[in-house]
Structure 1
Amino acid sequence: MSSVTISKSVTKNLSAVDTLGNKFTAPDYTIKQILDAIPKKCYNRYLTSSFYYVFRDIALCITFGSIAQYLIPKIDNYYLRAASWLIYAFIQSLPYTGIWVLAHECGHQAFSDYGWVNDTVGWILHSYLLVPYFSWKYSHGKHHKATGHLTRDMVFVPPTKEEFLNKNHVISLSELSADAPIITLKDLLIQQFGGWLAYLVTDVTGQPHPELGNKWYSSLFASHFNPSSPIFEKRDYWFIVLSDLGIISQFFILYQWINHFGWFNCFVHWFLPYVLTNHWLVFITYLQHSDVTLPHYEDHEWNFARGAAATIDRKFGFIGPFFFHDIIETHVLHHYVSRIPFYNARIGTKAIKEVMGDSYAFSDENMWVTLWKSARYCQFVDGNNGLKMFRNVNGLGVDPTK
């Protein structure tokens, strides 16, 4: 991050009313205060520890798969057998998601002190899950540099009130009726099971790309698979190609899998867990950046310290720490210093909380409840002082028409 970003002047004691009517005050501490508070030991990246978790997660995948392959075909009842395969796919998606998180660590260079090791391991692990490693690494890096910035952030960028009105082809909120819960449920299902692929293919929820035109196929040129996509810099071109080669290699592996073991074997052991892994990714990231208490900033009131605090830590029982490697529980720290490995993040989180004070966002609400609440409450952002908070037309929380 540049010194300009660190020292950028913003309005002190800037405040607004959040979605629930509570006062929110933007942080005024500096990034230096945050960095000074983090114990130096948190930055230690151990190759043996990182590889331990990779091999542990792979071992879990093999173990779960072997048990399922041995036991489930022995179930005589067709419906019980089908249900068992679905339960197995859910369980298998947990270490799959853990593998995804470890590849994400590689992209942030938090896996080890060796860049070539990080990129090699990350490329292999992400390619197995059809994630274009370098493409994701570069776009995700830009997200970290501009979290909470309304015109520079790269994912889950909410529409402003004006954009929301324009999207719905009206000039005032009073012309809009509330979304029925069934519509929210439909939108959530589309988001959870199609959102990740839509993001990779069309950059949905990212910044608009008017330079690509307004044809129905224009968004395809903003794809993470296109080396010339406006998401990337020219210097990234051949790394995007390498990412695509990883995807092609995985398709070849899947082709061989089907040839040797049959399509059903590939379907239950790879495809279903893969689909559910994509769900977990959207579930996790959406709730890290969409909450009734979280702010977004216009450029003149944004700085790195404020942006990194515009995310939230949550709890997800046993699954979060064990399978998902604390990516849910220590996300705020991750936005301040992304190269701290996850196994040191608890210590770092405790340290920065003392600096952040009330600006540290945390919730222990059931995440499934929060998913529904965020979908109902967080439709667009509004505000007139450079600090914008979530609002909705569902009659929930603060009335956006006043």
Structure 2
Amino acid sequence: MASTTTTTTTTQVYKDTYGQDFTPPDFTIKDILDAIPKRCYERSYLRSYSYVARDLACIAAVFYLGTKIQLLPSVGLRFVAWTLYTIVQGLFGTGIWVLAHECGHGAFSPSRLVNDITGWILHSALFVPYHSWRITHSKHHKATGHLQRDMVFVPKDQERYLQSREILELAEEAPIISLYWLVVQQLFGWPTYLAINVTGQKYNGASKWYMSHFNPVAPMFDPKDFWDVIVSDVGMLCAGYLSYLAIHNFGWANYILFYFIPYLWVNHWLVFITYLQHTDPCLPHYDAAEWNFARGAAATIDRDFGFVGRHIFHEIIETHVAHHYVSRIPFYHGEEATEAIKRVMGKHYRRDTTNMFVALWRAVRMCQFVEGTEGVKMYRNGNGYGPKPEHLVLKEKAN
């Protein structure tokens, strides 16, 4: 549901990280909702479960092929086959994750019970605490782009950035350091977000371990969420027990090859997708005085990941802007909803067809912190890309 927060009317022109002019959008959430056809809200049990069945069938087929890899005649061929297996299985595992994400938004079916049971099973199988993440993700949707209330990929401000520069002695400007942090982010960003709320809001005085998605009294949750978090933790225990049985019966090597490495690929794709949906040199962030729901949802970007994005990842990449405006619209109506809102958003609708791996590197190098006045803040960096950060301008003036 859209926030009723009022905002200050502003005509000030800002510069994004490309150096292009930016003015905050002035359309309303009502303008957006009025443009979306009612049929986009229709959710089908049969259609949604058909995608679950399709993805599970693909996972089963790839798993069956994986059992035959040991029959290949050489180590080299087996290495190549296992590499392909883990990548492909990770892609289909991500598709299952996206369908569970649909459940959390109520976009999977008209029944909350069906959504929650299905989402709990699918997410638990991927070691995701279904309700815990559903709750914080919902808060992210309600406050996207809000520097004080958003729940994930909250960017550093200039002060925190300068502190990190001092600690790292300017090392972060080197591409090799950017590459190091990129690898860490892609492999461990998702589990550390769940475990200690990395990239989420900071809560003064709270231990990072206290801010865990597995802690029912963590500050991200309300008292009413207590038992939902417990149910999520039960799902994690079930997944852990099934993993124990798999290791006990089939050995560590098989568990790592058949499940754990594909699981790491799923983690990679999740961070890859979500980071690029909310991080780009053209995207703004807002303080409370300038934020509203319509502006926050517009601070996202659609991208194109070809066949994988449209047919395996269920268009979560290609129709993310519309998803932020109305998250209960099922993904299979996302394109129609996107075309409808584009007519309202105009220049504020963003779509980037750059190769996503190129876009990832560009974002890491160009989007290091945010700064700005009047409640609107844009990305800046210490690498010399785009407009100079304020601290460098002041330093030049002082000299």
TM-score w.r.t. the length of structure 2 is 0.95
Alignment of 1:199-278 (within 5 A): 199-212=193-206, 218-278=207-267
Alignment of 1:158-173 (within 5 A): 158-169=155-166
Cα distance in 2 for residues equivalent to 1:26 and 1:160: 19
| Greater Cα shift, 262-271 or 26-35 | 262-271
Question: What is the SS of the residue equivalent to 1:220?
Answer: coil
- Aligned counterpart, 2:132: 135
1:330 to 2:315 alignment:
no
Say if 1:15 and 1:387, in contact at 8 Å, map to a contact too. Answer: no
Cα distance in 2 for residues equivalent to 1:358 and 1:2: 22
Cα distance in 2 for residues equivalent to 1:289 and 1:183: 22
Question: What is the SS of the residue equivalent to 2:244?
Answer: helix
1:88 to 2:85 alignment:
yes
Instruction: String of CA shifts for 1:325-368, please: whole Å, max 9, x gaps.
Output: 00000000000000000001100000000000000011000000
* Shift >3 Å, 4+ stretches: 166-170, 175-178
Cα distance in 2 for residues equivalent to 1:3 and 1:286: 24
Cα distance in 2 for residues equivalent to 1:26 and 1:345: 24
- Aligned counterpart, 2:188: 194
Cα distance in 2 for residues equivalent to 1:10 and 1:116: 41
Alignment of 1:3-402 (within 5 A): 4-5=4-5, 8-70=6-68, 72-169=69-166, 176=170, 179-212=173-206, 218-400=207-389, 401-402=392-393
Cα distance in 2 for residues equivalent to 1:13 and 1:55: 51
Q: Percent identity?
A: 53
Cα distance in 2 for residues equivalent to 1:264 and 1:115: 39
Cα distance in 1 for residues equivalent to 2:357 and 2:202: 29
Q: Which amino acid in the other structure matches residue 31 of structure 1?
A: I
Q: Which amino acid in the other structure matches residue 151 of structure 1?
A: Q
Cα distance in 1 for residues equivalent to 2:355 and 2:381: 22
Question: What is the SS of the residue equivalent to 1:318?
Answer: helix
Say if 2:2 and 2:29, in contact at 8 Å, map to a contact too. Answer: no
Question: What is the SS of the residue equivalent to 1:210?
Answer: coil
Question: What is the SS of the residue equivalent to 2:277?
Answer: helix
Question: What is the SS of the residue equivalent to 1:119?
Answer: helix
Question: What is the SS of the residue equivalent to 2:4?
Answer: helix
Question: What is the SS of the residue equivalent to 1:222?
Answer: coil
Q: Which amino acid in the other structure matches residue 149 of structure 1?
A: H
Q: Which amino acid in the other structure matches residue 48 of structure 2?
A: S
Cα distance in 2 for residues equivalent to 1:59 and 1:359: 40
TM-score w.r.t. the length of structure 1 is 0.95
Question: What is the SS of the residue equivalent to 2:22?
Answer: strand
Q: Which amino acid in the other structure matches residue 335 of structure 1?
A: H
CA RMSD in angstroms, aligned pairs only? 1.3
Cα distance in 1 for residues equivalent to 2:164 and 2:144: 23
Q: How far off its partner does 1:169 sit?
A: 4.4
**Structure 2 gap ranges (5+):** 394-399
Q: How far off its partner does 1:2 sit?
A: 5.3
Cα distance in 2 for residues equivalent to 1:139 and 1:178: 30
Question: What is the SS of the residue equivalent to 1:389?
Answer: strand
Say if 1:178 and 1:395, in contact at 8 Å, map to a contact too. Answer: no
Cα distance in 1 for residues equivalent to 2:37 and 2:8: 28
Q: How far off its partner does 1:3 sit?
A: 5.8
Say if 2:3 and 2:142, in contact at 8 Å, map to a contact too. Answer: no
Q: Which amino acid in the other structure matches residue 318 of structure 1?
A: F
| Greater Cα shift, 74-83 or 314-323 | 74-83
| Greater Cα shift, 137-146 or 11-20 | 11-20
- Aligned counterpart, 1:215: none
Question: What is the SS of the residue equivalent to 2:200?
Answer: coil
Q: How far off its partner does 1:124 sit?
A: 0.3
